[in-house]
Chain A
Amino acid sequence: MTLGGRIADWARLKSPWITIFNSGACNACDIEAIAALTPRFDVERFGILAVGSPRHADVLVVTGPVTLQQASRLRRVFEQIPEPKYVIATGACGSAGGVFHGLYHVVESVDSVIPVDVFIAGCPPRPDEIIDGVVACLGIMKEDLARGGKEWRRGRPAAVIAPAAPAPAPAGEAVP
């Protein structure tokens, strides 16, 4: 591999850029994803940066079920992202339609439109679970680099991030 390629691979693992695409969500996943950028969770400490244009992004975070109106747009946005690209589907409705399953204007799930690498469970997932999903995606990227591509994952199920144990109640931490 060329030196330039090695630098690009190293940089992508150190600082993946994500773009958030609302494919028909109820906004809950969106605000939790934006909350992950703000001081409490501060996703930028992992080098993760949210960018506006899919052409600049490495990871596409899709929120919500895919409405028929948005399906072709989701496909086009996905095609605009340069390789190697990764897709994270957030929330129950991104994985299997969730509460919207069976409504006349939503497709079954995100992966019936584009390939998905990581599913994050929850309705909506907490910001820490979204960060967990992006970090899991980084692990997959690293593995892909070591094995020279995405081929080895063909036929295997995508990674799923689900809550481990109920979070303890916050103990009256004071607001500064």
Chain B
Amino acid sequence: MAEVLVPIGPQHPALKEPVSFRVWADGEVIVRLEMDVSYNHRGIEKGAEQRDFHRTLPLLERICGICSHSHTTVFAKGIEALMQVEAPPRARAIRTVVAELERVHSHLLWLGVAAHEVGFNTLFMWTWRDREAVQDVLEALTGNRVNYGINAVGGVRRDWPPDLVSTALDRVAPLGDRVRLYADMVAREKTMLARFTGVGKLTREQVLAYGAVGPTARASGVDYDVRRDDPYLDYARLPWKVITDDHGDVLGRTLVRVGELHESLNMIQVLLRDLPPGEIRAKVPRTAPPGEFLSRYEAPRGELVHFLRTNGTDRAERVDVRTPTMANWTSVAMALRGRWLADIPVIVAAIDPCLSCTSRVSLADPEGRDRGGMTWDELREHGIRFYAEGRHER
């Protein structure tokens, strides 16, 4: 049978975010896939070079509204290292608690979305109801439900009084039972088993070859987690373990995430019971000396990297962001080959895609001579030319 091109997106009833898939199918079977993930390009990396460190934080927080704390922590951590200051222990503990709360909210959100993609809407409603408890805790602790704005260069912006901490603890504790219920459900519920088992299979070798990260990699038996392998914040002193699985399919990714929910809830409770006393913010210089730093962080979706270069002024010369979703897309394209068209939503959802952080502009010189970047004016001029010629319309 002849191959048929099925275009999906950028606006499509099944998509929540703008992404464009061009799927070549033979009957119902996917032969190959092309994708365009660049609809949300806003130019944040360039904008981060124009603002000082303190004004860059709110901008980087809005790279992604779901892992917002990840982006500010990884940037603040890198700039602090370049400035050779260290956040006080209490600030580190507060950052860790918010980071793990963020992981809990993100994984609950994902579990709901994955269930929704296979038509199991009851679980979608259940997990999102439980997620509201986490959102309430985050709102009480940081002041915001989504973009928390708690990080600052040198520490955090809010201290938590003891009564707030004990309220948060009371609110987080019952979630453990709910997560146990979900773990049981994933292992036994027939709808999920039928749609998740053997779907989107990736072997350990494939994962390593395509550079997948986070729960996607750990579900294929890759024992890698930045929190353990390059410890930052308080992870080295906390009792927790890296969750891996060797199913390699969507079921495996679900099991890894549910396991991580347990670990995260546990870490949050250990930290909240015993928050170190003291200052929450170190005094930082206005400028950072010239230098380069590669800051790594385990975001809910996987390893997040910010490369930072400073030049002695109060702003970064280069901020390069490598987000986990961007790293995971290649593995999706490979996992989809030879599968049914109807498996697209669940395989795509299994990496927990988040399109807001997946677009980059990079400059390539085929001769390999020019290693410079573009100035603001050149970039603007290039953008105007690009759109005037209608090159964005395919």
Contact = CB atoms under 8 A, between A and B. Distances in A.
Interface string A10-54: 000000000011111111111110110011100000000001111
Contacts of B135: 35
Contact of A22 (B18, B66, B112): B18
Given A26-B65, A38-B125, A172-B170, A124 B43 contact: no
Interface residues of A, number: 50
A31 B66 contact: yes
A67 B125 contact: no
A124 B12 CA distance: 24
B41 A30 contact: no
Nearest to A24: B40
A30 B65 contact: yes
B133 A27 contact: no
Contacts of A172: 167, 170-171
Interface string A138-176: 000000000000000000000000000000011111110
A25 B40 contact: yes
A104 B383 contact: yes
A124 B65 contact: yes
A169 B136 CA distance: 8
B41 A67 contact: yes
A99 B146 contact: no
B132 interface: yes
A93 B41 CA distance: 14
A38 B113 CA distance: 12
Contacts of A51: 13
B130 to A, nearest CB: 6
A105 B376 CA distance: 12
A106 interface: yes
Interface residues of B, number: 59
A69 B41 contact: yes
Contacts, number: 151
Contacts of A54: 11
Interface centre among B43, B58, B130, B131 (most CB of A within 10 A): B43
Given A67-B42, A104-B380, A28 B65 contact: yes
Interface string B132-167: 110110011000011100000000000000001001
A77 B39 CA distance: 15
Contacts of B231: none
Given A22-B18, A28-B68, A175-B171, A99 B130 contact: no
B356 interface: yes
Contacts of B132: 35, 38, 40
Nearest to B50: A102
Interface in A87-129: 93, 98-100, 102-106, 123-124, 126
A123 B373 CA distance: 32
B147 A175 contact: no
A52 B8 CA distance: 13
Nearest to B177: A175
Contact of B42 (A22, A72, A106, A126): A106
B39 to A, nearest CB: 5
Contacts of B54: none
Nearest to B381: A104
B342 to A, nearest CB: 16
A78 B11 CA distance: 12
Contacts of B65: 25-31, 124
B194 to A, nearest CB: 24
Interface centre among A30, A99, A105 (most CB of B within 10 A): A105
Nearest to A54: B11
Contact of A175 (B42, B58, B175): B175
A93 B40 CA distance: 13
B16 A73 contact: no
B40 A40 contact: no
Interface of B: 10-14, 16-18, 38-44, 46-47, 58-59, 62-66, 68, 109, 112, 124-125, 128-133, 135-136, 139-140, 145-147, 164, 167, 170-171, 174-175, 178, 354-356, 376, 379-380, 383, 387, 392-393
Given A170-B171, A173-B171, 9 more contacts: A21-B11, A25-B40, A25-B356, A27-B356, A67-B42, A104-B379, A105-B42, A169-B139, A175-B178
22 contacts: A23-B18, A25-B65, A25-B356, A26-B64, A26-B356, A27-B66, A27-B354, A27-B355, A30-B65, A34-B16, A35-B132, A35-B135, A39-B125, A52-B12, A68-B392, A70-B40, A93-B62, A104-B43, A124-B146, A126-B145, A172-B170, A173-B136
